Amino acid sequence: MIEVQNLSKSYGDFTAVDDVSFACRPGRVTGFLGPNGAGKSTAMRMIAGLTRPSKGTATIDGVEYTAIPNPATQVGVLLDASAQHGGRTGREVLTIGARMMGLPASRVDEMLALVGLTDKEAKRRVRNYSLGMRQRLGIAHALLGDPKVLILDEPANGLDPAGIHWMRRLLREYANRGGTVMLSSHLLHEIQIIADDLIVIGNGRIVASGTKEELLRVAGTRVRARDMAALESALTAAGLTFEVAGDAVTSTASPEEVGQAAADAGVALVELRESDSAGLEEMFLQLTSSNQRDVITTEGVPA
Amino acid sequence: MSTATTDPTIDLSRPGVPFGREVRVEIRKMIDTRGGVWLFAITALFILLAMGLTLLVLGLNEDATITASGFGEIMALPVSILLPVFAILIVTSEWSQRTHLTTFTLQPHRGRVILAKFVAVTTLAIGTIVAAAVFGALGNALYGVITPHDPVWNLPVADLAWIVAQQLLFFWMAFALAMLLLNTPAAIAVFYVASMILPFMVYPILMAMFQWARDLLPWLNMDYAVMMVRTEATFLGDPIEVGVVDYLRLAFTVTLWIVLPGLLGALRIRRTEVK
Ligand SMILES: Nc1ncnc2c1ncn2[C@@H]1O[C@H](COP(=O)(O)OP(=O)(O)O)[C@@H](O)[C@H]1O
Ligand SMILES: [Mg+2]
């Protein structure tokens, strides 16, 4: 289990990570979600012992990363897939890792096969790899030593939709075998596909955390009628809270309650459905726009 | 989230990474890139060129003679020109290619990483001198075959020790500057300007012209300081009696170019945030 307690990191008077506490449990894939610059990478570097925290602790099973003997065989880390020597072949990158960890050369072939890098691709220099291939290589490297814990920073970045589903299956099976996975992303839809638990970070602070179901349940109902004014007075009459969101109305009440209220007032509906992930999505959008970086982050924006 | 389950996921009794393994990996990392292969290939070419030219001159010129010691000196030249770049790249490429992220997650104790790289650089320096000696011996034997002279096999241990020592000092200086600067072009520029361009192209002129240059420059240049102790002569060839001052001068230049930048660099590497 990864445990982070009151972790902070300041650069001068700027606080990149601000008193953050959370845990990533074994058997679960924990998504670490936040817009660009939220402090995800900084927090993960502190967990991996590469950045010294200003305050607080980050431990894995109660142990700091730097105190773990031959750590890469116990905790797999991928912090930046593009941070590889362009002049080395993919196979050589893994071979160096395997040598260092004291693993047999056959392990390199196993990992290449696992992440779907062909023999020909593995002989190419990393300079000529696409970002998606680098991510696969980085994941292979993180998995080399057969660790029980995985820490992956934006591993889905640069993967195509098929690649994201491949990663979901890989990490799902890994967690099912009892592994602990922490992965970060700045894309809600990406993390929604892959993660079980979510930790949402914005401006260095945790703004929400829990299981994916919990966080998505906040959702509520989205409803539209031809006569929107009539719909609004019907909902008010029924005592339901609601908000006008563009050409529709969203309510925290269930679709059943909203439908009944409309029917009671004789309002014909055009649309009535559970607003999937609206709660989280809205919160995330707000986080993002208050950060004044990307306006839309639920679609493929490069990091 | 509950903290009830404490799975024994992390095994603290597992052995750490043995130091010898780290050194072997660092040596491998010096030569497993395209750049590394080229550097070695060009050096091999230089060696053959130096040997060929020397033999050509000796073959064409009946009066010219050479000894094994002389051959050793000549062969040490090509291996000391380009190869210090390895001692620089083994440090700076981790930063320019950002592989330090991986290196320091595989071995979080950065002091150990520095030590492994140092041993790797030292191994390379000695290995290349051995290679140079082998080629020197080969050249000397050929010299006996293609010229009427008999080869002279006189490489005194002291001479060989000095050649090795100088090669080591060269490599360590490159390594120390690389740690201090953590930047490939800067480290290469400072190293070559300080160790080759100035002492071969600028200092001789200054020393021929000015007394202060003859007094001061040996204190700033490791090669001069070594040569004065080794040959028991000044830069201009005047014999000297080697005394405490000369050893002090040598120690001073070693401190200036190796110990000081090395210590500051190691401190910098240990402190710096890797990202
Ligand atoms: N060395 C530094 N000096 C100043 N600010 C930094 C430094 N490193 C990171 N930051 C800032 O910290 C914030 C968090 O960065 P990061 O952890 O990389 O975010 P994320 O990975 O979530 O995109 C950013 O605003 C970034 O600009
Ligand atoms: Mg990041």
A238: closest CA of chain B, how far (Å): 37
Test B105 with A48 for CB contact under 8 angstroms: yes
Task: Write out pLDDT tens, residues A140-170.
Answer: 999 999 999 999 999 999 899 899 999 999 9
Closest C-alpha to A39, from A154, A150, A161, A202: A202
Residue B112 forms contact with A (CB below 8 Å) = no
- Asked if the model's pLDDT at residue B1 lies above 70, the reply is no
- For residues A73 and A277, the model is more confident at A73
Beta bridge partners of A244: A249
Q: Strand locations in A73-147, DSSP E? A: 75-78
Question: Which of the four pLDDT bands, split at 50, 70 and 90, describes residue A303?
Answer: very low
What is the end-to-end Cα distance of chain A in Å, rounded? 27
- Confirm if A180 and A269 have CB atoms less than 8 A apart: no
Test B101 with A80 for CB contact under 8 angstroms: yes
- Residue B4's pLDDT is 43
Return the ligand 1 atom nearest residue A153 CA: 21
Task: Write out pLDDT tens, residues B13-41.
Answer: 999 999 999 999 999 999 888 888 888 88
CA-to-CA dists, residue B178 to B84, B94, B181, B198, angstroms = 10, 11, 5, 19
Task: Write out pLDDT tens, residues A4-58.
Answer: 999 999 999 999 999 999 999 999 999 999 999 999 999 999 999 999 999 999 9
Q: ipTM, 2 decimals?
A: 0.87
- Counting residues of chain B whose pLDDT is more than 90, the rounded percentage is 48
- Residue A78's pLDDT is 97
Test B105 with A50 for CB contact under 8 angstroms: yes
* A46 chain-B contacts, CB cut-off 8 A: none
- Confirm if B39 and B85 have CB atoms less than 8 A apart: yes
Q: Rounded to two decimals, what is the model's pTM?
A: 0.85
Question: Which of the four pLDDT bands, split at 50, 70 and 90, describes residue B154?
Answer: confident
**A39 CA distance to ligand 2 middle (Å):** 7
CA-CA-CA-CA torsion for B155, B158, B162, B164, nearest 10 degrees? 70
Q: Which of B9, B22, B98 is opposite residue A149, by nearest beta carbon?
A: B9
Sign, CA torsion A222/A226/A232/A237: negative
The ligand minimizing its distance to the Cα of A37 is 1
CA distance B58 to B67: 11
- Asked if the model's pLDDT at residue A270 lies above 50, the reply is yes
Question: Which of the four pLDDT bands, split at 50, 70 and 90, describes residue A291?
Answer: low
Point out the least confidently predicted range of A75-84, A197-206, A217-226, A238-247: A217-226
* B3 chain-A contacts, CB cut-off 8 A: 1, 3, 23
- Asked if the model's pLDDT at residue B161 lies above 90, the reply is no
Mutate to test the interface with B, among A54, A70, A82, A197 (most CBs of B within 10 A): A70
- Confirm if A200 and A284 have CB atoms less than 8 A apart: yes
- Residue A64's pLDDT is 97
Closest C-alpha to A215, from A298, A169, A287, A278: A278
Question: Which of the four pLDDT bands, split at 50, 70 and 90, describes residue B8?
Answer: low
Residue B4 forms contact with A (CB below 8 Å) = no
CA-to-CA dists, residue A209 to A8, A173, A283, B4, B76, angstroms = 18, 23, 12, 18, 64
- Asked if the model's pLDDT at residue B120 lies above 60, the reply is yes
